[in-house]
Amino acid sequence: MSGESNEIRFSQKAKDRLAWYLTRYPTRQAALLPALRLAQEEFGHLTHPVMDYVAGQLELPPVTVYEAATFYTMYHKKPVGEHCVYVCTNVTCFLKGADQLLEYLSGKLGIRPGQATADGKITLFSVECLGNCDKAPTVQIDDDYHDCVTTESADRLLEKLR
């Protein structure tokens, strides 16, 4: 583990960003959520060595970092594909056919929610309310929301990721 963690280092840009975050809070721990987001952007997902590195940067016990990282759904503890596709299946999206949409995407990609395609391109997720209920069903791809998604528009969205 120590051999691996030696190779884990924030880019200069991430270091500058973290330094800025640290100016915004009276405690170093308060910068943990932003720091974990940075780490995920830099390293793809949060391995134990990555979380240990974040702990070192914030002078926190590693367990404090594990505890936060495992509590929140947006931190990936396992490797994810190049793109993440999140299908909202909560109440309004459910009323608008989100279950069928998720099943369609699952079949088309040949994976279950939580899995990545064999080529490592796409990971599919079923998620709780995205707060975009007037445009249900909503699909989030990476950072972007897509409104009123149908099987046809989902096909087009996936095409762009290939």
| Least distance CB 41 / other proteins (angstroms) | 12
Of residues 7 and 134, the one with the C-beta less far from other proteins: 134
**Which among 132, 110, 114 has a CA at the least distance from the CA of 123?**
114
Tokens of 102: 């998720």
Burial of 153 (0-12, 13-18, 19+ CB in 10 A): middle
124 beta partners:
85
Of residues 19 and 74, the one with the C-beta less far from other proteins: 74
Residues that bind other proteins (CB under 8 A): 24-27, 29-34, 36-37, 60, 64, 67-68, 71-75, 89-92, 94-97, 99-101, 128-137, 140, 143-145, 148-151
Of residues 4 and 41, the one with the C-beta less far from other proteins: 41
Q: Is the dihedral of CA 9, 11, 16, 18 positive or negative?
A: negative
| Least distance CB 4 / other proteins (angstroms) | 24
DSSP state, residue 116:
B
60 beta partners:
none
| Least distance CB 3 / other proteins (angstroms) | 28
Of residues 3 and 16, the one with the C-beta less far from other proteins: 16
| Least distance CB 134 / other proteins (angstroms) | 4
C-alpha dist (Å) from residue 61 to 19, 64, 65, 75, 125 = 19, 6, 7, 19, 31
Of residues 4 and 25, the one with the C-beta less far from other proteins: 25
- Residue 5: what residue type? S
| Least distance CB 8 / other proteins (angstroms) | 20
